[in-house]
Amino acid sequence: EDKVVQSPLSLVVHEGDTVTLNCSYEVTNFRSLLWYKQEKKAPTFLFMLTSSGIEKKSGRLSSILDKKELFSILNITATQTGDSAVYLCAGATSGTYKYIFGTGTRLKVLA
């Protein structure tokens, strides 16, 4: 059965800290891994990773994929209170085009 596991489940840090969120996956016909940020409403897209070892960056956020070890990390540097959210990762399959989500990491950034 396909599954995506995220760790830690929750994390509390102070503004300015750097955090690393982990995502491991076992997905049949894996095509790509996606990261989403969910505040109070709908998940919003952050990154899609399809190739190993190539870092994607957007401001203070960056992510990388390791297809050999079947995991990805999401880094957030110089965290701000606005980064408080649930971060979701999802494995996308080819052929069936499904997205399988992990249960998320709840990040709280304290001022």
Partner 1 sequence: DAGVIQSPRHEVTEMGQEVTLRCKPISGHDYLFWYRQTMMRGLELLIYFNNNVPIDDSGMPEDRFSAKMPNASFSTLKIQPSEPRDSAVYFCASSLDGLLGNTEAFFGQGTRLTVV
How many positions of this chain bind partner 1 (CB under 8 A)?
23
Instruction: Based on the shown chain and the rule CB under 8 A, indicate whether residue 101 belongs to the binding site for partner 1.
Output: yes
Instruction: Based on the shown chain and the rule CB under 8 A, indicate whether residue 34 belongs to the binding site for partner 1.
Output: yes
| 3-state secondary structure string across the chain | CCEEEEECCEEEEECCCCEEEEEEEECCCEEEEEEEEECCCCCEEEEEECCCCCCEEECCEEEEEECCCCEEEEEECCCCHHHCEEEEEEEEECCCCCEEECCCEEEEEEC
* Least distance CB 14 / partner 1 (angstroms): 25
Interaction site with partner 1 (CB under 8 A): 31-32, 34, 41-45, 48, 50, 88, 90, 92, 94, 96-104
